[in-house]
Structure 1
């Protein structure tokens, strides 16, 4: 290995030159051909010899078990692809392997960064410690990382194939001596600040991320001096952060400090009956939900839960417990504007449990005033948890400020009420999840005979976690700004009550800077649309909700509203933190109002919804829009910064959609109303998210009663179950573009994987297989090396039904200054039929008819480096006997499963298979 030290401008770039002649060309991946046993299982993969690679005009770079990386001269690329096709090899060009991408700056691995601000570019670090970007020639192998760790401390991963390391400056030159390293350069101050902050000329409230392995005492003092007040350092020991209001010039100064790793604006919270529940239950006949039979046997959502489902898959409700029904009492945290009208005197509130022993004149919504399940001999709770028949609303928490002060604690005690003007917000969300109007003497119905306020999962228990209105709402009525450590502390308190689901019908709001106006229009800031420190924290909390990221005992299924697009001058992208990889991000599809197209008139869900279009549209196809005239919005989609050139699939956000328009939801009891109406018309992705949260709770309860072990489904499994049977909205309308566009099949950016439909999951006509995350002390299916793969042979249950295979995994969190992609670990899904006619199906490789593309010989496969969900859909009769599923490691760069494998890189996953059983 020869080293060349190049001084380019003022930047020291260490370029590594191999002693083997280097090909100046394109990196490619070549998939190895599988070797099958007589029984159909995979026993290995065919190796490619040096002679074979030479015949392809390719030079070997690295081997990964199921594929290898090679390099091909630019002039030989056409011949390489022809030769690979003749040899029945699948190959793909990977130009990104030779790029450095960070904080929006992209430059060749062999060169230097372009367009860095002069005052944010350095040629060396002051002091003894330095930070460097180290890029390998190909996906980072375990052995390469271990060699790197003998010299430096690995801090973070960046796509593609790059680590940020900390090392004494005197030893930095040794980094270039490592095998397969192709680039080493300084971690520039310009990489450490959200680029929108470079344009400000005023004080800004910022969140500052710091290096946990350095002494931060002096930094805390210096930040306090700049801010003019004491600055507290909060967060977990491995992720310290601080908030401070600083001058624009100070922002440029502090990113030169080696202890500072990232600076971004502190953003504020912006908050984004039965009809919607019936839609996600699949109770529609192809064009519209089934109408309750007025005067006859009613068939609504409660009837579906307790009677219409297969006998062994029916659910108990708070008012009914038919023989054999499955009870559940799942706790769901609602991070929102509070709940109804609850005030607890200071002496009676237990801050750790979130309970009040004596409320003061508190009023609850009638649809939330019930127990999870019936009590006594006639109830289903005998021999089960004592929480089975608890009241569904018992616990209340509130966010604390940077000084640790509970922001609900003021005159008269703790104020947990929902005072979001004028009709509340958190109360509406809670009723969509767990409302039960049947607990009332005379439940209210709409004009179509549907109950108002019907929750999707009426036995779920609500944990109120107040974050908004007169606290953090971005409107000027309360303190502006909300940092991730404040949310994390609240989540930690909630998780301690054994809560496993969290609904977040809010996003972050850009109120930190009023930019200059151009041409009479405000220039849009885009911080809210980018993967942020908040997004990173959400990806951590899905894995470990207590915030320490040191074990697998505290997972949390986190659901977020994708955000509402209300201004044509702003981007359409999904809003942080809903753009986090591991959360379930939810967009809004249209509910239904009248039946004019079908000769019936069912009216609106609520009188407030009278402005809604008078046609149902086509519920089977679906509509991505809201037509509420006083609050027009469209569901946001995709993510700023993702590659959209067509080379790769987009990252599908929202993950799913659900009815989020014209819903009749509970109105807060905090305010007095002249009409004594307990409901109002609620819409937006705020309304769609709790629909999916309720569906997730039911999917979790189904899993609990179906599986002997493990009883608790992982967040990845919950996502897989919901994705598998989601309805495609093909044929519907996407009202965001101009002119309107007809929706194609899912997945697609407007609808993600489709509209949630639980009926396919709760059926008993077809076999299914679920394989959840492997957390054994010794890995069985968990991947710890890039050469790992798992495979098994399955048999089709009914050849006249399609097969659905879904892989989902909880990835390691990304960095907020990562560019070009967010995946850290990458695993692939593949299925094979090895009968008389062999067929191969790749995850997320779809045709034009919803189903996966099948290649009889060589698929033109494009790998998916974006999504943490991979799906294969095989049409009926395409496979009639056995088939094989393979899950394989592509890159395993970080320890995504904390507390296991000695902290070395690892990755677990969840798999759901519909219409098959293990052979």
Structure 2
């Protein structure tokens, strides 16, 4: 919503709907439906695209292969069941109203005859290769590193052996209930052979992720007030951080006192790839972000025994516990040890240790090349993140939006469309960076970063206005039209814990032997993860919800976000933050814990964590009775979505019911007429449009 209205009784309605929506666009009529892939969009009833014979699938009556099955409108569960009863298997969703399926030729004919099936056709090898890999600019014979997605029951060892025969190497593999994944490096002239394998569904370039580099959390996000008024410190919460490691990598006395005694487990994920079997922090990034989440500030002025963290460098949730997952082998910004399947090898192990919040300050481009990267796409990593949250409904993943913001045309306004992956995922909280307040520290955007030569950005200090954005913070939208980031938090001149490993870096500047300054959406993300820890503690301890869903945690967080419009450059042609919310600069705004958890009277918070969910076409109705008239009511919908197929494309419709990402505030319902006092205000429907779920 673009403004707040003071009511005698303010109801912030969180309608949490756990459904398997692939997307929330109004469904096209059957005669206008399309198959929307990243490689091509076409109406199959008007004919398939021209494909060379060598790139087409050959159908067989007896052998099973990959097909596309398109239904006649929003997909019903009984329709999917009918296909499966005939022997077909449905996998990833493809807009509009279609699924990738595994069928043999005879079954394909039977499925084609079903009255609710619009079209059945082969899923050709030509559809399975990302356009940038199919381009003529890819040098023949050049070794390229790619991520391969397969059917979930594919024999990955056999595929790996085939890659070796072609002169390639396998860098990692894994599988979850949705798909199998293999990361391989092979000659580019073997890519067509790779996509011709029956079990291969999608091949995209792999970009090695990089790390996306006090006042911020305690004052601007108002964690200090939440601690003082609600007694929330993160106690009982376990947060996982996947990053470069933690301090000296031990749970013993040598560990930094800011963390000692609260480490559930340290994991050296590089050991899975035969690399470094230690979780010490050779870079310094992981220690800093962990400190922002839950460092207790012992080396500054805090007194944890008395819950006193005032004026210290404690993180937002200083009494939470930590699972640290080291994904760095050599201390440079590139992260060599991201698993091929981040669902089963990264998120699930942390979940099994009790973590219900997972903070990730890393990411990369979504397409293009290293020289000309592209952003905003829905990648395999994005899909895996969504799949993880679909499998674990009470696990909230947070990802940095990226540091790719730039004013490329030097018009004095930061450009849109720079969002990195996995921050393009639907269900995760994607975090951008706002400015901190440390005007005494040096540097302007024009002096410190390339791409900001024009005013008013060039001469603006890096940390002098909490209502301003960090210029480097990546902006949305996603390529399929969703609004991102979800929220922002301070990300410039952030002071936090320093790694005591002798080889560790020192970030932007050294504060002392125990703390350093750093900046980036990397720093905004753990501050937000700490805020989510306090949200979850509030839900569990104060609201008596024993196992809150990720959708509820996200909705509560976003519901209190502070409106930053117009930003720090006024309302003119250089306006930094749009007036409407959500928007592709700040999302719903800057994290504000007091507004999320304890808004000033007479406002109140009312929410429902609907864990049973709705099927396609279902509704849930909530009727509220208020004592005095309201001017408006707000509905916040949290939609738990299954992951879309990575090779699929969603084209925005002009009629969008719920344009925001999962669990984002969806629409403002104005009340045209006020009822008499004591009468029901209105019935607020939580209507769910077409919601095809994964099989």
Could you tell me the TM-score, scaled by structure 1's length?
Answer: 0.62
Aligned match for 1:132, one of 67, 74, 85: 67
Displacement of 1:799 in angstroms is 4.2
Task: Show the counterpart of 2:221.
Answer: 280
Secondary structure (helix, strand or coil) at the match of 1:110 reads: helix
Task: Show the counterpart of 1:464.
Answer: 324
User: CA-to-partner distance for each residue in 1:724-757, whole Å, 9 max, x for gaps?
Assistant: 111122221589x995545323111111111111
Change (3 A) 1:684 1:738: farther
Change (3 A) 1:96 1:416: farther
Aligned match for 1:726, one of 561, 571, 574: 561
Task: Show the counterpart of 2:490.
Answer: 659
Mapped pair 1:368 → 2:259: yes
Residues 569, 576 of structure 2: 8 Å contact kept: yes
Residues 45, 119 of structure 2: 8 Å contact kept: yes
Mapped pair 1:682 → 2:525: no
Task: Show the counterpart of 1:500.
Answer: 356
Provide the C-alpha distance between the structure 2 equivalents of 1:605 and 1:457, rounded to a whole number of angstroms.
Answer: 29
Residues 132, 368 of structure 2: 8 Å contact kept: no
Which stretch shifts more, 605-614 or 491-500? Answer: 605-614
Task: Show the counterpart of 2:17.
Answer: none
Change (3 A) 1:102 1:534: same
Q: For residues 726-875 of structure 1, what are the structure 2 equivalents within 5 Å?
A: 726-733=561-568, 741-763=576-598, 765=601, 766-774=603-611, 781-783=612-614, 785-796=615-626, 799=629, 803-820=633-650, 862-864=656-658, 867-868=661-662, 869-873=664-668
Task: Show the counterpart of 1:589.
Answer: 434
Secondary structure (helix, strand or coil) at the match of 1:426 reads: helix
Task: Show the counterpart of 2:123.
Answer: 187
Q: For residues 51-450 of structure 1, what are the structure 2 equivalents within 5 Å?
A: 97-114=32-49, 116=51, 119-122=54-57, 124=59, 128-151=63-86, 152-199=88-135, 200-201=138-139, 202-213=142-153, 218-227=158-167, 233-236=173-176, 239-272=179-212, 273-281=214-222, 301-302=223-224, 304-307=225-228, 309=229, 313-315=230-232, 317=233, 328-342=235-249, 356=251, 362-364=254-256, 366-369=257-260, 391-400=261-270, 404-405=272-273, 407-409=275-277, 415-420=278-283, 424-437=284-297, 440=300
Residues 68, 122 of structure 2: 8 Å contact kept: yes
Provide the C-alpha distance between the structure 1 equivalents of 2:493 and 2:482, rounded to a whole number of angstroms.
Answer: 29
Aligned match for 1:694, one of 505, 530, 534: 530
Residues 36, 650 of structure 2: 8 Å contact kept: yes
Mapped pair 1:490 → 2:346: yes
Residues 134, 164 of structure 1: 8 Å contact kept: yes
Considering Cα pairs closer than 8 Å and 6+ residues apart, tell me whether 1 or 2 has the greater RCO: 2
Displacement of 1:505 in angstroms is 0.6
Task: Show the counterpart of 2:455.
Answer: none
Displacement of 1:460 in angstroms is 1.5
Residues 608, 681 of structure 1: 8 Å contact kept: no
Task: Show the counterpart of 2:541.
Answer: 705
Task: Show the counterpart of 2:373.
Answer: 525
Change (3 A) 1:605 1:305: farther
Secondary structure (helix, strand or coil) at the match of 1:565 reads: coil
Aligned match for 1:561, one of 400, 411, 422: 400
Displacement of 1:341 in angstroms is 2.0
User: CA-to-partner distance for each residue in 1:570-626, whole Å, 9 max, x for gaps?
Assistant: 9833111111111100011112233xxxxxxxx34999999794597654xx22224
Change (3 A) 1:395 1:711: same
Mapped pair 1:637 → 2:484: no
Residues 562, 590 of structure 2: 8 Å contact kept: yes
Count matched residues. 630
Displacement of 1:213 in angstroms is 3.9
Displacement of 1:698 in angstroms is 0.8
Q: Which runs of 5+ in 1 are unaligned?
A: 1-90, 282-300, 318-326, 344-355, 370-390, 410-414, 444-448, 515-521, 546-551, 595-602, 627-632, 643-649, 775-780, 824-859, 896-904, 906-919
Displacement of 1:430 in angstroms is 1.4
Change (3 A) 1:222 1:805: same
Mapped pair 1:889 → 2:683: no
Provide the C-alpha distance between the structure 2 equivalents of 1:455 and 1:609, rounded to a whole number of angstroms.
Answer: 30
Provide the C-alpha distance between the structure 2 equivalents of 1:236 and 1:472, rounded to a whole number of angstroms.
Answer: 30
Change (3 A) 1:211 1:126: farther
Task: Show the counterpart of 1:580.
Answer: 425
Root-mean-square deviation over aligned CA pairs: 3.7
Provide the C-alpha distance between the structure 2 equivalents of 1:237 and 1:666, rounded to a whole number of angstroms.
Answer: 38
User: CA-to-partner distance for each residue in 1:93-140, whole Å, 9 max, x for gaps?
Assistant: 758952111123111232234365664234646972232212122112
Provide the C-alpha distance between the structure 1 equivalents of 2:512 and 2:171, rounded to a whole number of angstroms.
Answer: 48
Residues 343, 384 of structure 2: 8 Å contact kept: no
Provide the C-alpha distance between the structure 2 equivalents of 1:495 and 1:186, rounded to a whole number of angstroms.
Answer: 38
Provide the C-alpha distance between the structure 2 equivalents of 1:690 and 1:883, rounded to a whole number of angstroms.
Answer: 39
Residues 625, 635 of structure 1: 8 Å contact kept: no
Change (3 A) 1:231 1:692: closer
User: CA-to-partner distance for each residue in 1:431-458, whole Å, 9 max, x for gaps?
Assistant: 2112333675589xxxxx9835231111
Displacement of 1:504 in angstroms is 0.4
Change (3 A) 1:457 1:203: same
Change (3 A) 1:472 1:576: farther
Aligned match for 1:538, one of 376, 380, 385: 385
Provide the C-alpha distance between the structure 1 equivalents of 2:592 and 2:195, rounded to a whole number of angstroms.
Answer: 48
Task: Show the counterpart of 1:30.
Answer: none
Change (3 A) 1:687 1:638: same
Provide the C-alpha distance between the structure 2 equivalents of 1:802 and 1:239, rounded to a whole number of angstroms.
Answer: 45
Displacement of 1:810 in angstroms is 1.6
Change (3 A) 1:887 1:238: closer
Change (3 A) 1:107 1:337: same
Provide the C-alpha distance between the structure 2 equivalents of 1:588 and 1:135, rounded to a whole number of angstroms.
Answer: 41
Residues 227, 244 of structure 1: 8 Å contact kept: no
User: CA-to-partner distance for each residue in 1:631-684, whole Å, 9 max, x for gaps?
Assistant: xx23332112x2xxxxxxx31111111111222222222248897443333211
Residues 418, 670 of structure 1: 8 Å contact kept: yes
- Give the number of the structure whose alpha-carbon radius of gyration is greater: 1
Provide the C-alpha distance between the structure 2 equivalents of 1:427 and 1:96, rounded to a whole number of angstroms.
Answer: 55
Provide the C-alpha distance between the structure 2 equivalents of 1:681 and 1:738, rounded to a whole number of angstroms.
Answer: 33
